[in-house]
A = this chain, B = another copy of it.
Amino acid sequence: MRNSNLQVIVKTLPENIPQPEDFALVDGAIPEPGPGQVLVETMYLSLDPYMGSALKGRHITAPVAAGGVMPGETIGRVITSNNPDFAEGEIVYSRGGWQSYSVANDPAHLSPYVLATANAAQKVPSFPGIHASSYLGVMGMPGLTAYAATAFLSELKPGQTFATGAASGAVGSAAGQLARIMGARAVGIAGSDEKCKAAVERFGFDACVNYKKEGWADELKAACPDGVDCFLDSSGGKILQTVLFQLALHARVILMGMMDQYNSPVPLPGPNLGMVMAKRATVKGLIVYDFYDRMAEYRKYAAQWIAEGRLKNMEDLTDGLAGAPAAFSRLMHGNNLGKVIVKVAGG
């Protein structure tokens, strides 16, 4: 155990894409757990695109304050427990933030699904062969997002075409694989040839199109000859606009992220909705918190699919908390490859 609490604080709230210099590394005190609380040592920290929106005060979770510790989901180990439900050494999920140590509130009095501010520890299940950090990715919130999108909102029928942005990212890669498990074709959209290669070769997408290449709309059309029956969007902007022109009749569009918006100092206009009308499409907003009561169900299925080799993940791992700001900036620039995880202490 360290003798201080290494923390990353938000130095300045970024106006555009977050840069490493927007954050500062400080040494804080290790907090004392109160009655019913547990002290958790962070093992893995999850970096997620929505944090970019939270930094601008525009996310559904609480806004981030300058000077405070950057929030984030973590997997950690209970160091001290004042709660009979948690043993020392137990592995827990919590919203520990970008720091080495955090205190989780009395879980008996807090829903683990309370948005953002409540930090309640949850026991991490121990499915065989699943690494602890996976509970921040394919077995955690991003995986559940993909499950909500495909199993509950997509209305996918076998043989239909499912397209997703961020195809090699945590949510997109899982969603494409789940769509294939449901009998659909999966077509990815990603920002580099390397990402497209991963989508096809590692995650089994039927095709993947690099949206940074000229003529990608035609490539998408070729990959979706009958149109896109369901599109999972994480852009909230230009990619969505292009895909709208490729929708099949009665298509479903699921909005699960707004990367273009997260990186902008002001809210941007969205896509022209003419094709939504023309194609009698349905656009649905997805907030994963609505589906947390299905986490256990999802994990049971996911563990099985992982064991069968049908659901793969890929981690973009940074070693050490000091690297978190740069890793986060890379993520918000779209330069990550796979689920971005920071290894904070020995996992």
Residues of A within 8 A of B (CB): 58, 60, 236, 240, 255-258, 261, 267-274, 276-287, 290
Contacts and interface: CB of A to CB of B under 8 A. Distances in A.
A284 to B, nearest CB: 5
B282 A277 contact: no
A255 B278 CA distance: 10
Contacts of A276: 255, 283-285
Nearest to A289: B280
Contacts of A281: 284-285
Number of chain copies forming the complex = 2
Given A269-B269, A280-B290, A290-B280, A261 B285 contact: no
Given A236-B272, A255-B277, A276-B284, 9 more contacts: A58-B274, A60-B278, A255-B273, A267-B272, A270-B271, A273-B285, A278-B287, A280-B284, A282-B284
Contact of A267 (B236, B255, B274, B290): B274
Nearest to A236: B273
19 contacts: A60-B278, A236-B272, A236-B274, A255-B277, A256-B277, A257-B277, A267-B274, A269-B269, A269-B270, A269-B271, A273-B283, A276-B283, A276-B284, A279-B285, A280-B285, A280-B286, A280-B287, A281-B284, A282-B282
